Every structure is written in C-alpha cells, then in structure tokens.
Amino acid sequence: MTTYIIRQSIYAVFIILGVLTVTFCIIRILPGDPTRLAQGQRADLQSMEALKKEWKLDKPIYVQYVYFLSNAIQGDFGRSYSTNRPVTESILERIPRTALLAVSAMVLATIIGVLIGILSAWKPYTLFDNAAMVFALLGISVPVFVLGALFVLFFTEKMHLIGGTGYITELNRVQLDRLILPMAALAARPLSIFARITRSSMLDTMSMDYIRTARAKGVSEQKTILTHALRNALNPVVTTISAWLAATLAGTFFIEQIFNWPGVGLLAFNAVTQYDFPIIQGVVIFTAIIFVVVNLIVDIIYSFLDPRVRLG
C-alpha cells in the first residue's frame, strides 16, 4: 500500500510540473507585451523596460522558466494586471465561495443520484425506473449554462420564488436562498450520471451468483441489496464521483458568471475579458492541481475498496 501511494504521488507531481510547463509556454507565445498590458494606457518605454527587468522578461527563455518555476513552487504567480494584487491572494480569497458552491452541489448530486440509482435497480423497468432514467437523460443532455439561465428566468424572473443572483452575506452568514439555484443547476448533470452509473452497476452486481445464494438462503431483499450488492457496486460509482468532483469545480466557471457568484470562475471570466494573463495562468494551475489532488485521493480510496488495484 505504501509503495502504491508513493508511486501515485510521484505521478501527481510530474503531472503538476507538466501543467506548469505548458502554462508557461502558452502565456509566453500569446500576442501582446505583458508590460504594456500591465500598465495600460499609461505605459511608457522607460516603465515598460523597468517591468521587464523586474519580471526577468529581458532574460533568456530558460532563465524565465526557472524563475517562474521557483516562484510557482512558493505559490507566487505574479500580480494581476488589472488590480495589481498578488494572483495567489486573489484566488485564495475566492476559493471558499467556489468550494461552497461545488461541494454543496456534489453532496446533493451524490445523495440523490445514488439513491435514485439504487431504487431503480431494486425495481427495474417499472414506472419509477423509466421515469427516473428519462429525467436522467435530460439532465445529461442539457448544458449547465443553459440550465442555469433557465433557472434564473423561470424561478427568479417569472415566478419570483427565490431571491436574485449574487453572493450576499448578512451578519457574516451567507444567504442560503442565493445558493439554491446555482447549486441545483450545477448538480443536475452529475446527479443524472450518478443515477445511471449506480443503476447499471447495481444491476450487474445483483446478477452475480453470490447474490442468488444470499436470496436462496432466505436473506431479506433489503439486506441483500444494502449489505451484499451495494458495497461491490460502489467501485465504479466512487470513480465517477471523483472525476465529477473535479469537473464540477471547472463547471462553476459558467454558473458563477450566470448567477454573479464571486468565486474563482467569475474571477477567471473577468480575467479573460481584461486580458489579465497572470490571473488566467494562476486559475489554470489552481484548477489542474485540484484535478490531480482529487484523483490522487480517489485512487487511494479506490485501492482500499478494491485490493486488486494495488496488485495491478
């Protein structure tokens, strides 16, 4: 087990290093002078030369790469062109808001999706099963930004059931009614996928010989499903949930823009419109690290659930 964890951790480090390298190269080949973009209309030749010297842009590309890598390892990704604030500070300030949105959506999607999948597998091809799979198919088919826009139009503008968009606090507490719509829109797609994956995995597991043996011995259907079938059916479900946890963090980019939720996604969107390359670079690296860390944790959890993974 220790060898497996060390090996997976080494892979994760190399992946993050690769992301840092690719991001560095992309930023360097983008058109435009970063010193001019940083200074805006007030840019003059003397100030631009001073910034180039400060940022080591007057050095050879390999020196710039070493400088970038050493700073990145320390969590320093430069300063924003638009606000002149440190990129790391701007991202860390917004992480709790994005985490609140993404984690709450994933909890909702996991609980409801897995429950629907179990009930559908328990009573397959019934009215409930067919209706659940139709709604799951719709949830997978509709893009998250379309669903978010429809939620705002229907629930807020037309029916006035839920308050407006944005992230508003009162007495240092988040107004939870502002969380309901973006959380539901973000949860719809993973919820549908979890339901279908759980149903499929449960049906495969319930056709195994040991399930038939348990039933033949008189074990109750409820105990057979929850004790014997569910645990063995969880492996693909856990893998799917882990992949979608990282994907949900990326999906907040659209939802935060639609609902004016001031998280990392909205920060990245504004940075793109303002050509704020340091912010874009920092968000890309932050997102990649989240993907790698989440998948590393899930690989370790998966190895506990299925010892064959460690042997492989």
Residue 116 clears pLDDT 70, i.e. is over it: yes
pLDDT tens profile 134-163: 999 998 888 888 888 888 888 877 776 665
pLDDT value of residue 305: 62
Average pLDDT, the chain: 80
At the topology level of CATH, where does 93-306 sit?
MetI-like fold (1.10.3720)
Q: Give the residue from 86, 82, 87 showing the smallest Cα distance to 40.
A: 82
Query: Averaged over 211-219, what is the pLDDT?
Result: 76
CATH 1.10.3720.10 occupies which residues in the chain? 93-306
pLDDT value of residue 229: 74
Q: 100 is written with which tokens?
A: 């609140």
pLDDT tens profile 58-90: 788 888 888 888 888 888 888 887 787 889 999
Residue 173 clears pLDDT 60, i.e. is over it: no
pLDDT tens profile 4-33: 778 878 888 888 888 888 888 887 777 766
pLDDT > 70: percent of the chain = 86
pTM above 0.85, yes or no: no
Q: 239 is written with which tokens?
A: 């893998």
